[in-house]
Amino acid sequence: MTEAAPKKEQRRKFQAIRGTRDLLPPDTALWNHVEETAHAVFTTFGFGEIRPPVFEATELFARAVGGDTDIVGKEMYTFEDHDFGELSSLASTITYRNPDIQNSHSVSSYVEQIHAFLGAYSEGLAQNKIPRTPDNERALENLRMHATRIPILAGDWTGGIEHAKTRLELQISGVREALRVIQLGDVLSLRPEATASVCRAYIEHNMQQLPQPQKLYYIGPMFRRERPQKGRYRQFYQVGAEVLENVKPDATRDAAKELTKDAITDAEVIQMVMTFFDKLKLPGVQLEINSIGHAADNCRRGYVALLKSELEKVKDKLGADSQRRIETNPFRVLDSKLEHEQPIIATLPKIADHLCDDCKTQYAAVKRELELRGVFYTENWRLVRGLDYYMRTTFEITAQGLGSQNAVCGGGRYDGLVELLGGPPTKGIGFAIGEDRLILSLQEAKDAALAAGKQPPFVYIAWMGANAYAAAVHAAKDLRAAGVRVELPPVEQKFGKALERASKLGAQYALILGDNEVAEGTWTLKTLADGAQQKFTEPHLLDFLKKL
């Protein structure tokens, strides 16, 4: 008897999770080209690469990105990280049990399980393996109390069985509640963005003691539980950079000089992104800039208050989202894409008319510095970044061929964020490029293959005969060492078949090695496109291919 294979319908067909995808050849060549270009361009601007981990404490993102944002509120992949698998499954067993008051065994085994849980849980707390948070301590107390009361209540039927049942149910829901709030380990999230991580690393590694500013860039996956569509994924990639600079205690002494210095940094950062896009020949690049004022100053607060009161006046004409934002974040109403809100938004007060002198000076300097660098921009007074920590310079870059998801880069200044995360007073400016969208736009532009850069020459070795095989193995080794891409078939092929396969794989050349060639010490290189043949000795062949 042969062992039965699992029935077809029982075999699960695995697929990439919704919103994630495999990047495959030949597309990955373009991804690599984009990333290599980023390394090259950013290096010329004095940036160094940072590779933070892809998960961090949820609290870090909640604080940096903001608890009220969509990202933190509903888009993060969050999990509890702990070594207490058994304890955790015991907790869910207890949670789903419904002990029967009329069955003493059922009640006592329920209570036994609670005691078993309590034993391991309090030990974990005592050894600090489980965090000693106020919630956890309270849950411990409550569980102890319920574990004592349940056996007493279960045996006490005064007032009737129904009454006793109700009292027991109350205890059980108390147990469930205690188990629900318990955190056996740290609460972590897959990063939805990387600015928070870079700031955390800056603090953790005391980078304020290194030469300032610290100029860092990163490339890697981000995770947000959004509705997947073209240009919007749940795992997507960002190429980003941050400039972080410790604020000197005497920085306020020459405020004007500081403002110009910041403006130059802003302009350089923007210039760097534009240079990168230029190198990639990204089509239809458009840069928009704005200044959103200074949070700590009156200009931002004054403007937001004015905006809010103006919005109140037109409230009934706005959609539900904007109505809500009047309260939570009036700034974000300017972001609205709703058709019928556009004429209303057009009449709202503009921040440029309300900037304080410092912000005005800085914004003017940014524009002047961009012009000096030959960077074209348009001003968009409605360009706000939703997050509280952004200030002054904000910018966004769009590209062609992306439909409504056409933003490929967003950035801005965020002085104060490092301090908010527990670090020293620090200035910051940065951006994040959506690499998936960047690639889509390049692919739409068709000359993506060109953009993918020069591939090394591709040689297929058509060998025939045992002697030729040994020579082919050596030739493959030498050619590969010289950077040539080589395909060495593992079986002998007839000449016609070999050429056919070489073309199918996309090789440019076939290197013909038969017994004659081996005896002569010369090899024949056939150009597949036009069928031309040339004879070479090995050193000449290497020279020829290297020159390509």
Contacts of 306 (CB under 8 A, 6+ apart): 349, 354
> Residue of minimal CB distance from ligand ATP?
434
CA distances from 320 to 172, 315, 316 (A): 41, 9, 9
- Report d(CA 470, CA 340) in Å as an integer: 75
Contact 432, 410 (CB under 8 A): yes
Nearest residue (CB) to ligand ATP, 99 versus 434: 434
Nearest residue (CB) to ligand ATP, 274 versus 432: 432
SS3 438: helix
Residues near ligand ATP (CB under 6 A): 193, 224, 226, 231-233, 236, 238, 405, 407-410, 432, 434, 436-437
Nearest residue (CB) to ligand ATP, 236 versus 509: 236
Q: Where are the beta strands (DSSP E) in 7-69?
A: 48-49, 55-57
Nearest residue (CB) to ligand ATP, 208 versus 290: 290
Residue 325 CA neighbour count, 13 Å, CB half: 20
Cβ at position 437, least distance to ligand ATP in Å: 5
Nearest residue (CB) to ligand ATP, 438 versus 512: 438
Sign of CA dihedral 307, 313, 317, 323: positive
Residue type, 176: R
Cβ at position 489, least distance to ligand ATP in Å: 41
Cβ at position 52, least distance to ligand ATP in Å: 16
Cβ at position 234, least distance to ligand ATP in Å: 7
C-alpha 425, offset from chain centre: 26
Cβ at position 407, least distance to ligand ATP in Å: 4
SS3 387: coil
Cβ at position 224, least distance to ligand ATP in Å: 5
Contact 348, 306 (CB under 8 A): no
Cβ at position 238, least distance to ligand ATP in Å: 5
Contact 195, 242 (CB under 8 A): yes
Q: Find tokens 């090789």 and name the residue.
A: 507
Contact 511, 460 (CB under 8 A): yes
Nearest residue (CB) to ligand ATP, 193 versus 517: 193
Nearest residue (CB) to ligand ATP, 146 versus 437: 437
